[in-house]
Amino acid sequence: MKATAVRAGFLTSVQDLGRVGLREFGISLGGALDPHALRIANLLVGNEESAAGLEVTFGGLRLRFADDRIVAWCGGNFQARIGSGTLAAGHAALVRSGEDFSIESPARGCRAWIAISGGINVPVVLGSRAGDLKAGFGGISGRPIRDGEGVPLGENSERATTLAEKLRTSRIASWKPPHDWSSPAQRAPILRYIRGNDANHLTSAAMETFRDAGFFVSPDSDRMGVRLDGPRLERTSEMDFLSEAVAPGTLQVPPDGKPILLLNDCQTIGGYPKIAHVITFDLAIAAQLRPGDIVRFNEVSLSEAHRALFEWEQALQHFRRGLESHFE
């Protein structure tokens, strides 16, 4: 079965949890820029957490379904609808055959992740269904979805079928995850970071500026990275280093002194000084940064970074258990 993208939106692509373990071959991680949001949305519709969904940037998507499906979304402050009814973030809902699901431009944040029961059933390439939009493979022909295009769907699971029967009357589930799980976009985003080994390649004044100043998100940002405008961070040397491994969350400072926060589609190696690394848990906040936003940084220890991720995984485990009664 398929859903039809009556309107594909500004930039909509198929994403899952990415291609893990291939960076040594030059293959980017890719996948959803906020894997937490996609995992939660998948749990809400009865999918495996790793199922492929849709990543929507700046909205404008309108899907029409050929059969009954459960849909849920998480992300920025978007307005989503099923037909003429509103669907808030973090709520599972039944979309009937022939009905439309739409998501419009956001008031805050810039991305949303949509899970559909059965998952997006595109071919697995290098262990993932995610679309690598830079390299041009995976997803739907390695590119964004186009207007009028069909989006292949897998079969509804038994869990999804059970939930669909429960939602025949109410249509929208009353239960949901915590608000900051389903709606992580922030008015005044602060990203926690661990100091990088190359921090000493910035002047002490530059590192102080990095800690204290706010930076504007540049329009020249994408899934590869967020470019930041603001005070110039002065390096102690204009020479670049021998290229070495980089990863999502790495903060590099090129010769122009304007830092770049790398995201999932980033290259696998780089030669600019790596002054910091944004903690994994806060990359969900980074995924919502839009041009003109002001972002600040706060240094934390490695143990604090580990604790933030561990506590979230523990809370997610409790949430999984709490969901079970809705699928029985």
Q: Which of 133, 129, 110, 124 is nearest to 15 (CA)?
A: 129
- Residue 164 corresponds to which tokens in the numbers above? 């669909």
Tell me the residue type at 142. Answer: G
Whole-angstrom Cα Rg for the chain: 20
The answer to whether 23 and 17 are in contact (CB under 8 A) is: no
Phi-psi region of 90 (alpha: psi -120 to 50; beta: other; left: phi over 0): left
182: Cα within 13 Å, side-chain hemisphere: 21
The backbone torsions φ and ψ at residue 314, rounded to the nearest 5 degrees and listed phi first, read -65, -45
Looking at the chain, the whole-number percentage of residues with pLDDT higher than 70 is: 100
For residue 62, CA distances in Å to 37, 112, 216 come to 20, 13, 31
Average pLDDT, rounded, for the chain: 95
- pTM beyond 0.75: the answer is yes
Find how far residue 222's CA is from the centre of its chain: 12
Q: What are the domain boundaries of the chain?
A: 2-185, 190-309
Question: Going by DSSP bridges, is the β-strand pair 294-299/190-195 parallel, antiparallel, or unpaired?
Answer: parallel
* Residues in CB range of 87: below 8 A, 6 or more apart: 71, 73, 80, 81, 93, 101, 172
Looking at residue 34, the DSSP 8-state letter turns out to be S
Under the banding of pLDDT at 50, 70 and 90, the label for residue 94 is very high
What CATH number is given for 190-309 in this structure?
A: 2.40.100.10
Residue 252 CA to residue 260 CA, distance in Å, equals: 5
Looking at residue 310, the DSSP 8-state letter turns out to be H
The backbone torsions φ and ψ at residue 325, rounded to the nearest 5 degrees and listed phi first, read -65, -25
Q: Which of 41, 119, 51, 30 is nearest to 80 (CA)?
A: 41
Looking at the chain, the whole-number percentage of residues with pLDDT higher than 90 is: 89
The answer to whether 97 and 70 are in contact (CB under 8 A) is: no
Positive/negative CA dihedral, 37, 39, 40, 44: positive
Model pLDDT, residue 328:
83
Model pLDDT, residue 16:
98
Under the banding of pLDDT at 50, 70 and 90, the label for residue 211 is very high
Residue with the two structure tokens 């004044």: 205
Model pLDDT, residue 1:
84
Convert the pLDDT of each residue in 121-133 to its tens digit. Answer: 999 999 999 999 9
Model pLDDT, residue 19:
97
Convert the pLDDT of each residue in 222-276 to its tens digit. Answer: 999 999 999 999 998 777 678 889 999 999 999 999 999 999 999 999 889 999 9
Burial (CB count <10 Å: 0-12, 13-18, 19+), residue 145: buried
Residue 169 CA to residue 165 CA, distance in Å, equals: 9
Under the banding of pLDDT at 50, 70 and 90, the label for residue 279 is very high
Convert the pLDDT of each residue in 3-59 to its tens digit. Answer: 999 999 999 999 999 999 999 899 999 999 999 999 999 999 999 999 999 999 999
3-class secondary structure, 303: helix
